[in-house]
Chains A and B, each alone.
Chain A
Amino acid sequence: MIHRSLIDRDRVEVVDPAHKQHVSSLVWGSGPTGNTLFAGTMEDQASGSNGHIAVVSLRTDLITVMDRTQNIGEVDALGISPQGMS
Chain B
Amino acid sequence: MLWEYLRKVCLRECVSYSVSIKSSSGDRLAACIRGQGLPSLEIYALDNSGIQNSSKVSTRSSRHPSFDSSASRAEPRISLEAFDTPKAEVSSCKWSLCGTYIAVGRNDDRVDLFDSRFIKHGPVSRMFHGEPIKRTPWKSLWGITGLEWVEGAGNAQQALVSGGTDGQYYELPINTSDVRLQVVYDYGIYVMLTLFATSLPKWRRTSGVSQWAISANDKPHWSCE
Binary B-proximity of A38-71 (CB < 8 A = 1, otherwise 0): 1010010000001101010100000000111110
When distances are taken between beta carbons in the complex, the residues of chain A under 8 Å from B48 are: 31-33
Q: Is A2 an interface residue (CB 8 A)?
A: no
Which residues of B (93-132) have their CB < 8 Å from a CB of A?
93-95, 97-100, 102, 104-105, 116
Residues of chain B lying within 8 A (CB to CB) of residue A85:
26-28, 95, 98-100
Closest to B35 in A: A73
* Contact among B27, B31, B58, B116 with A78 in the assembled complex (CB-CB below 8 Å): B31
Q: How many A-B residue pairs have CB under 8 A?
A: 148
Interface residues on A, range: 35 or more
- A33 close to B29 (CB less than 8 A): no
The answer to whether residues A36 and B65 also contact, given A28-B24, A83-B23, A84-B26 and a CB cut-off of 8 A, is: yes
CB pair B67–A80 under 8 Å, yes or no, is no
Partner of A80, one of B24, B40, B57, B91: B24
B64 touches A33 (CB 8 A): yes
Given contacts A82-B20, A84-B99, is CB(A77)–CB(B27) below 8 Å? Answer: no
Instruction: Tell me the bound Cα distance from A4 to B29 in angstroms.
Output: 22
Assembled-state Cα–Cα distance A27/B57 (Å): 20
Give A55 to B60 CA distance when docked, in angstroms.
12
Proximity bits, B48-63, A CB within 8 Å = 1, else 0: 1000000001111011
In the complex, chain A residues whose CB is within 8 Å of the CB of B30: 78-81
Query: Do residues A83 and B26 form an inter-chain contact, with CB atoms below 8 A?
Result: yes
30 A-B pairs whose Cβ atoms sit less than 8 Å apart in the complex: A28-B24, A29-B26, A30-B25, A51-B33, A53-B44, A55-B65, A57-B62, A66-B60, A66-B65, A67-B57, A67-B58, A67-B66, A69-B44, A73-B40, A74-B33, A74-B35, A75-B32, A76-B33, A79-B29, A79-B31, A79-B93, A80-B25, A80-B28, A80-B29, A81-B27, A84-B99, A85-B28, A86-B26, A86-B27, A86-B28
Nearest first, the 9 A-B pairs at minimum CB distance are A73-B35, A85-B99, A81-B26, A76-B90, A79-B93, A77-B93, A79-B30, A81-B28, A30-B25
